[in-house]
Amino acid sequence: MADSYLRQSALASLHLIARANQADSNAGLSMGERGFLCQWVVRGDAGNAVFASAVKDVTGCDLPIEPNTVQGSGYINVLWLGPDEWLIVAPDGSDAGPRLDEACKDIHAAVTDVSESRTVIVLAGEHARDVLAKGCALDFHARSFVVDQCAQSTLAHMHVIVHQRSDAPEFDVYVHRSFAESLWQWLEDAAAEYGFAVSNPV
C-alpha cells in the first residue's frame, strides 16, 4: 500500500505549482507555498549550557537568544518564538528533531514535531510589505523589520510567524495548516491591486 497514498501540502488543492508556470513577470509581488518543511518546537532553558550546545550541535546554529531573531545555517533555521521556545526549521527529511530530543534527554527540555502543523507562504517583491501591512499590525518598514528577524502576530486575524528572509524583500509566513487556504485567499485579494505572480519557492 505504501506507494498508493499521496502526501498533500496544505495548499495542494489550489494547484499552485501549475499556476506558477503561468507567472506574470510584471507583478508587484510573488506568492507561493513552501511545503513539507520539517519543523520542531523546542522548549528549554536558554541558560542551560547543555541545552544551548545541543541545539548548536544538532542544527549548526547558535540558539537565538535575542528576541524576534533567527539564526540560520543555510540549511536549518532556528527562530526565536519566546524566552523558552524556538522553532527549528529544516528541509524535508531532516532528522534534527529526533537527534535534538536525544541530546536533551537528560535535561528538562522538550522537542515537539510540528512539521505538519504549519505551512509557509512565501511573499516576495516590492509590494510584499504593503500586503502584510494590510492585515498585520507589526511594523514592516525596512528600518524596523530586517533580514532574519521574525515575529509572531496575526495576519488577517490568523496567527502567523513572519520571518524576513531577504531584502528583496522576501518573507516566510508560517500559518497553521487549517487556516492556510483562508490566508492564501485573503492574500490574493490583498495583492490583487499590485498584481501578483504565483511562485514555486523551494
Partner 1 sequence: MTRQANRLGTDLVAGARIDRSKSIWFTFNGRRYEGHEGDTLASALVANDVQLVARSFKYHRPRGFFGAGAEDPCVMVQVGVGAETLPNLRATQVELYDGLVADSVNAWPSVNHDVGIVNDLMSRLLPAGFYYKTFMWPASWWTTYEHVIRNAAGMGVAPKQPDPDTYDHMHIHCDVLIVGGGPSGLAAALAAGRTGARVIIVDEQSEMGGSILASRLLVDDKPGAEWLASALAELGAMEEVRVMPRTTAFGHYDHNHMGLLERRTDHLGPGHDIARQRMWKVRAGQVIHAGGAIERSLVFAGNDRPGVMLASAAATYVNRWAARPGQKTVIFTNNDSAYGVAADLADAGISVQAIVDLRVEPGAAALEEASARNIEVLTASCVVETRGKRAVEGVTVMKLNDAGDGVVVGERRFDCGLVAVSGGWSPAVHLHCHAGGKVDYDEIQGCFVPGKTLEAARSVGAANGQLDLADCLTAGWQAGTNAAADTGFRKPGKVPKGPTATAVEVSPPRHVWIIPAKPGEENKVKRFVDLQNDVTDADVRLAAREGYRSVEHLKRYTTLGMGTDQGKTSNIPGLGILAAELEKSLPDVGTTTFRPPYTAITMGAIAGRYTGQMLEPVRRSPMHHWHENHGAAFEDVGQWKRPWYYPQDGEDMHAAVARECLAARNAIGILDATTLGKIDIQGPDASEFLNRIYTNAWSKLAVGRCRYGLMLSEDGMVMDDGVTSCISDNRYLMTTTSGNAASVMGWLEEWLQTEWPDLKVWCNSISEYWATLTISGPFARDLLAELCSDIDVSNDGLPFMSWREGTVAGAPARVFRISFTGEVSFEINVPASHGLGLWQALMTAGEKYGITPYGTEAMHVLRAEKGYIIVGQETDGTMTPYDLDMDWIVSKKKPDFIGKRSLGRADFLRDDRKQLVGLFTEDPLEVLPEGAQIVDDPNAPIPMPMIGHVTSSYLSANLGRSIALAVVKGGINRKGETVHLPLENGRTVRAEITGMVFYDPQGERLNG
Partner 2 sequence: MLIIDCPYCGKRDEAEFHYGGEAHIVRPENPSELSDEAWAEYLFMRSNTKGRFLERWVHSEGCRRWFNMARNTANNEVEAVYLMGETPPKEVSK
Residues that bind partner 2 (CB under 8 A): 67-68, 81-83, 85, 137-138, 151-154, 159
Smallest distance, partner 1 to C-beta of residue 93, A: 14
- Interface with partner 1 includes 122 (CB under 8 A)? no
Residue 74 C-beta: closest distance to partner 1, Å:
25
With CB under 5 to 8 Å by kind, the binding choice for 61 among partner 1, partner 2, none is: none
Contact 163, 175 (CB under 8 A): no
Strand-pair category, 77-82 with 70-72: antiparallel
Count, residues in the chain: 202
- Min separation Cβ 84 and partner 2, Å: 8
Q: Does 166 bind partner 1 (CB under 8 A)?
A: no
> Which of partner 2, partner 1, none has residue 112 at its interface (CB below 5 to 8 Å by kind)?
partner 1
Q: Which of residues 68-107 bind partner 1 (CB under 8 A)?
A: none
User: Which is nearer to partner 1, 115 or 200 (by Cβ)?
Assistant: 115
Instruction: Assess 176 for contact with partner 1 (CB under 8 A).
Output: yes
CA 15 to the chain's CA centroid: 20
- Tell me which of 15, 113, 166, 195 binds partner 1, using CB under 8 A: 113
Kind and range of the H or E run holding 133? helix 128-135
State in angstroms the smallest separation of the CB of 133 from partner 2: 13
Cell 507567472 appears where?
23
The DSSP annotation for 29-95 comes to EEEEEE-S-EEEEEE--TT-HHHHHHHHHHHSSPPP-STTBEEE-SS-EEEEEETTEEEEEE-TT--
Distance separating alpha carbons of residues 180 and 14, to the nearest angstrom: 11
What CA–CA distances, in Å, run from 81 to 71, 85, 126, 188?
12, 5, 27, 27
Q: Rule CB under 8 A: which of 2-31 touch partner 1?
A: 2-10, 13
| Chain residues in the site for partner 1 (CB under 8 A) | 1-10, 13, 35-36, 41, 43, 108-110, 112-118, 130, 133-139, 141, 143-144, 156-158, 176-179, 181-183, 185-186, 189-190, 193
